[in-house]
Structure 1
Amino acid sequence: MKRNIVIAVVTAAALVGGGTATALAVAGDDDSTSVTRTDDDRDDRGEDRSDDRDGDDDDGGVTAAEAITAALKHTPGTAVSAELDDGSWEVDVLAEGDTWHTVRIAPDSGKVLGAQKDDEDDAAEVRAALKGASVTAEDAAKAAAAKGTVVSVDLDDDGGDKGWEAETRASGGDARDWNVDPKTASVTPDRDDD
């Protein structure tokens, strides 16, 4: 009986929500277990994540590149930085009309935790630093990931060496700073890194 109720509820939810769902009911001696799978159990590539219910990747969480992608889906524009800070990814986005936003992303699931409009006035400098660049913040994060787990990526729009800066942590916890070329995505050690 419980199985029929579970299937009926899941079917109704799928019809009302317009999505697809699958239910599995398993009856035991003293209890029954119900598992409901929805479209949310598949990631953006269509891969099944049902055995990864907390949203973590095999390496332990949402990468910098994935956090940037999630932030840009929520707030379209140009991602200028991403930093794992105070238990969440904080992604700064320069939107249309030179409006700044900070989008917070959960590091374990990639869900948007919140967004706020910021009062920044350096949009012209940022746009000038990005002029002619073909490498995005997401690209820079992916390139730097070959050196370790990226915990921050930021546009350096000061001085003559305009480009992306990334910080990685090795499995032992050692932090390293890297420069990512804004045109080629080549990763080199930061000269100022101790």
Structure 2
Amino acid sequence: MKRNIVIAVVTAAALVGGGTATALAVAGDDDDSTSVTRTDDNRDDRGEDRSDDRDGDDDDGAVRAAAPGDVTAAEAITAALKHTPGTAVSAELDDGSWEVDVLAEGDTWHTVRIAPDSGKVLGAQKDDEDDAAEVRAALKGASVTAEDAAKAAAAKGTVVSVDLDDDGGDKGWEAETRASGGDARDWNVDPKTASVTPDRDDD
């Protein structure tokens, strides 16, 4: 009678950044067959490869997630105005890029998108806005630009938006900042003195 000997050797290796565990099973019988089974930690429970997930990039090359980058709000406004001259009325970090609204000559509106990591212009489009008269009235006598307001508010945290409030009696700049812990705060920036005060409506 022949004897069947089964020897199981399991070797686990943990690699930094996603290890790989490999199991070897050696069975000794009449034909001394050997089988090798590989288990890759880069596959999930469904057997799909997860190696690309660690890179944080989508297959379609989507723009990076919205977050304060190397380009400040003031720098984004400067880049937008260099591309599309006019009066910057707002700037917001949205959908992974800065969106700067510019009121150009002839009361035409443009939205200019700026890359938050390089300051390059990603695109620009003409918008159909009809409140040019209200904006120009709100800015009459103002010496503080959107860029100035963004710089002033930067003393309170990372500016993620700046916008002209042209409604009501308290016309001026509004800015939103994010602290290092992620807390958001709203501020009012005086259009003549650039003084920054907490927004009374900020909860």
User: What TM-score comes out, normalization by structure 1 length?
Assistant: 0.69
Deviation at 1:61, TM superposition (A): 18
**8 A contact 1:94–1:123 mirrored in 2:** yes
Q: Distance in 2 between matches of 1:48 and 1:3?
A: 41
Q: Distance in 1 between matches of 2:147 and 2:94?
A: 17
**8 A contact 1:90–1:104 mirrored in 2:** yes
Q: Distance in 2 between matches of 1:104 and 1:31?
A: 67
Of stretches 86-95 and 48-57 in structure 1, the one that deviates more from structure 2 is 48-57
Deviation at 1:113, TM superposition (A): 0.1
Q: 5+ unaligned residues in a row in structure 2: which ranges?
A: 64-71
Aligned residues: 194
**8 A contact 1:49–1:55 mirrored in 2:** no
Q: Distance in 1 between matches of 2:88 and 2:170?
A: 19
Of stretches 132-141 and 59-68 in structure 1, the one that deviates more from structure 2 is 59-68
Q: Which has the higher helix share?
A: 1
- Deviations along 1:9-60, whole A, 9 cap, x unmatched? 9999999999999999999999999999999999999999999999999999
In the alignment, which residue of structure 2 is the partner of 1:54?
55
**8 A contact 1:56–1:109 mirrored in 2:** no
- Deviations along 1:120-170, whole A, 9 cap, x unmatched? 000000000000000000000000000000000000000000000000000
Of stretches 5-14 and 139-148 in structure 1, the one that deviates more from structure 2 is 5-14
Q: What is the SS of the residue equivalent to 1:61? A: coil
- Deviations along 1:68-100, whole A, 9 cap, x unmatched? 000000000000000000000000000000000
Q: What is the SS of the residue equivalent to 1:142? A: helix
**8 A contact 1:23–1:34 mirrored in 2:** no
Structure 1 vs Structure 2 CA RMSD: 14.6
**8 A contact 2:159–2:176 mirrored in 1:** yes
Aligned pairs (5 A) from 1:150-169: 150-169=159-178
Deviation at 1:104, TM superposition (A): 0.1
Q: What is the SS of the residue equivalent to 2:151? A: helix
Change (3 A) 1:27 1:8: closer
Change (3 A) 1:56 1:147: farther
Change (3 A) 1:173 1:118: same
Of stretches 56-65 and 14-23 in structure 1, the one that deviates more from structure 2 is 14-23
Deviation at 1:64, TM superposition (A): 0.1
**8 A contact 1:156–1:164 mirrored in 2:** yes
Q: What is the SS of the residue equivalent to 1:134? A: coil
Aligned pairs (5 A) from 1:102-113: 102-113=111-122
Q: What is the SS of the residue equivalent to 1:27? A: strand
Change (3 A) 1:20 1:169: same
Q: What is the SS of the residue equivalent to 2:7? A: helix
**8 A contact 1:55–1:110 mirrored in 2:** no
Deviation at 1:110, TM superposition (A): 0.2
Q: Distance in 2 between matches of 1:165 and 1:2?
A: 87
User: What TM-score comes out, normalization by structure 2 length?
Assistant: 0.66
Of stretches 30-39 and 67-76 in structure 1, the one that deviates more from structure 2 is 30-39
Q: What is the SS of the residue equivalent to 1:107? A: coil
Q: What is the SS of the residue equivalent to 2:54? A: coil
Change (3 A) 1:132 1:41: farther
